[in-house]
Amino acid sequence: MVKSSIVVPPQATGGISRKRLPQDSQGAEIPAEVYFEEKPKRPRLQLNTDGNQRNQRLFGVLLGTLNKFKDDSENKSDAEKKRLAIESKLQEKLANEKKEIGEEIQAEREQKQQAIEARKRQAQRALEEKRESVVLRQHKNQAHFLMTKTSPSLCYLPATLTEKDIAILEKQSNLAKVAQEEFEGRQQARTQDDIKDSTLVQKDTSEVPSPSVAPSEAIDE
Amino acid sequence: MAKHHPDLIFCRKQPGIAIGRLCEKCDGKCVICDSYVRPATLVRICDECNFGSFQGRCVICGSPGVSDAYYCVGCTRLEKDREGCPKIINLGSSKTDLFYERKKFGFKKR
């Protein structure tokens, strides 16, 4: 068995710990009976009449000061009331200003967002229009030819056309015309939407603060 | 007193051996901050402020003194007791105004 290197003093293992009693000047413990014995009360200071009067006066002054402070803190003077009223008014004004500024900022942000969305829509419409016009032109050009049924289809035009071929060509050109008309109708709708969006974009660009001094003037200065 | 009346002026000359006194009204106050609690350091005033009829007068208001003046613990800790003679050497606006108002309305001094 391995012995522990920690040596525990015999007193520490005694079990119940006992509070040490105070020691006297020689370092010996004062017996409990003596220590816990009731000590006689400290005798009152024998003051003469002047001392008593002074104590009473001091106590009175102290009470007076405390009461004065209490009154001051409870009953506010007119000036303090006025000051409080002014402060509350200022606070209210400040809060209103803050609210207004917040609303303005929010409105500006919304407007900007709307303008950005309008620009996006405009760009999208322009792209769609371009794509449709390309497709339409392609269909229009292909309408004069016959097509194979293979994929990818091949365009061809025989030197002599049968009645069936002529009918197919007419049908194709009619379809191209109808598609052209539909495209024009869509274009008109797009133009109207464009006008609406461009007003939004113009609004946004017109509200951007212009520099107070023109660049040429600044250079002159 | 000077704490609450900023127009009052301290003497601030080199203190001597004379002990500062306080009147019945100002008794118990710290001469710097008017605190009624924890007096710590005895007040010393300069020889000029203790000369002739000024001897034994209240450091704060100039009335006949009844007890010794003390600095409180806070003022001692802040070394306000080393800033020179703490005797008030002027009247102050409140007392001057009171004097002229009494004169104007003809009130007798109590």
Confidence at residue A32, expressed as pLDDT on a 0 to 100 scale: 74
Q: pTM for the full model? A: 0.46
Please calculate the CA angle A89-A91-A93 and round it to the nearest 5 degrees.
Answer: 70
Q: Is the pLDDT of residue A216 over 80?
A: no
- Residue labelled with tokens 């942000």: A109
Provide ipTM, 2 decimals. Answer: 0.73
Helix (H) or strand (E) holding B77: helix B73-77
A147 vs A7, more confident: A147
What percent of chain A lies above the pLDDT cut of 90?
42
Confidence at residue A219, expressed as pLDDT on a 0 to 100 scale: 46
Nearest CA distance, B51 vs chain A (angstrom): 27
Label residue A193 by pLDDT band (50, 70, 90).
confident
- Residue labelled with tokens 């191209």: A176
Q: With contacts defined as CB-CB under 8 Å, which chain A residues touch B27?
A: 54, 57-58, 61
User: Which residue numbers in chain B have pLDDT < 70?
Assistant: 107-110
**Average pLDDT, rounded, for chain A:** 82
Residue ranges per domain, chain B? Answer: 21-105
Inter-chain contact B36–A65, Cβ cutoff 8 Å? yes
Q: Is the pLDDT of residue A186 over 80?
A: yes
A23-43 pLDDT, tens per residue?
A: 777 777 777 777 777 777 887
Q: With contacts defined as CB-CB under 8 Å, which chain A residues touch B67?
A: 54
User: Distance between the two ends of chain B, CA-based, in angstroms?
Assistant: 21
Inter-chain contact A57–B27, Cβ cutoff 8 Å? yes
Check: CB of residue B67 under 8 Å from CB of residue B20: no
What percent of chain A lies above the pLDDT cut of 70?
83
Confidence at residue A189, expressed as pLDDT on a 0 to 100 scale: 87
A57-110 pLDDT, tens per residue?
A: 889 988 998 999 898 888 887 888 899 999 999 999 999 999 999 999 999 999
Question: Which spans in chain A are helix H?
Answer: 32-35, 49-74, 78-142, 163-206, 215-220
A133-179 pLDDT, tens per residue?
A: 999 999 899 999 999 999 888 999 999 999 999 999 999 999 999 99
Q: Is the pLDDT of residue A221 over 50?
A: no
**Least confident interval from A31-45, A113-127, A180-194:** A31-45
Inter-chain contact A57–B67, Cβ cutoff 8 Å? no
